[in-house]
Structure 1
Amino acid sequence: MASSLKSKMKYHVFLSFRGEDVRNNFLGHLYRALDQKGIYTYVDSEELRKGEQIVPTLMKAIDESQIAIIVFSKDYASSWWCLEELVKIIDCKKERDLMVFPLFYKVEPGELRTPRGSYRDALVKHESKYGKDSKEVKRWEKALSDASYLSGWPLKDG
């Protein structure tokens, strides 16, 4: 079974991030460092081809990855897209033991666990759009909480 799972894997790493926060600085450095080590990394700006359906392509890339690195930044939760990726990543962790490594980029894990600051603000906006007791927002809150309990790296400055 393990060999059949390995043969399905296309990427070593899937990077989940909020583009506006980190794409043109931290993420570029991380991607280059992984690439220089020969680590085949899925990042949408490099792998997503024009004309492809975005959501199914991203979900498939997560399925085909051995590791997911989630870069939690200030505005990560403001994107329903990032939150959907996060739910998929957490599901894959539970279903097939996907290795998940969170990077807390200028945020604390507690901001995800008990949403506060920009994470609380983002969830309130999602609630106003989808409804206070919507299934989507509940799934996102649960995924954020689950991810906040994973051992990760705090990145404050530099």
Structure 2
Amino acid sequence: MIYSIFTALSWGKDLTHLFKRIEESKIALAIFSGKYAQSKWCLNELAKMKTLAEKNKLKVIPIFYKVKVDDVRHQKGEFGHNFWKLARTSSGEEIKQWKEALEFVSYKMGLTLCENRYST
């Protein structure tokens, strides 16, 4: 199964349901944009993906849409602004897990999409 299919099917349900779908998947697409880090939901999904990827149970493919890999990796730029704004209302443990997941996934081979071009 491909994770991204289940994100749409799971919208509005609790994360337990979504995590089960991620665990059943072989591949997950993490699609980063400038506003990705506004969502605890997205960051918690990413932390789950990291945990499974470290156990070789899931392949994670990052896609960087109009955001720099370095901004995701180091929480800078628009991405970083949104991350740190959300972090103000989050626990230290959540922030630690999110930062580790962002760094882990940003080092994976993925795809960068800009206005009219892409690169790998």
TM-score normalised to the size of structure 2? 0.87
The answer as to whether partners of 2:37 and 2:86 remain within 8 angstroms in 1 is: no
Question: Which structure has the bigger radius of gyration?
Answer: 1
Shift of 1:130: 2.3
C-alpha distance in 2 between matches for 1:49 and 1:155:
25
Alignment of 1:99-138 (within 5 A): 99-130=59-90, 134-138=92-96
Q: Match of 1:43?
A: 7
Overall identity of the aligned pairs, in %: 32
C-alpha distance in 1 between matches for 2:32 and 2:39:
12
Shift of 1:87: 0.3
TM-score normalised to the size of structure 1? 0.67
2:21 aligned with 1:57, yes or no?
no
Number of matched pairs:
116
C-alpha distance in 1 between matches for 2:96 and 2:11:
32
Q: Match of 1:14?
A: 3
Letter in 2 for 1:119: F
C-alpha distance in 1 between matches for 2:44 and 2:11:
20
C-alpha distance in 1 between matches for 2:40 and 2:60:
20
C-alpha distance in 2 between matches for 1:130 and 1:77:
12
Distance change (3 Å), C-alpha of 1:115 and 1:48:
closer
2:105 aligned with 1:150, yes or no?
no
The answer as to whether partners of 2:32 and 2:67 remain within 8 angstroms in 1 is: yes
Q: Match of 1:69?
A: 29
5+ residue gaps, structure 1: 1-11, 16-40
5+ residue gaps, structure 2: none
C-alpha distance in 2 between matches for 1:148 and 1:107:
12
2:97 aligned with 1:139, yes or no?
yes
Shift of 1:128: 1.7
What are the superposed Cα offsets for residues 58-112 of structure 1, whole Å, 9 maximum, x if unpaired? 1001001010011111111110000000000111101134111111111111011
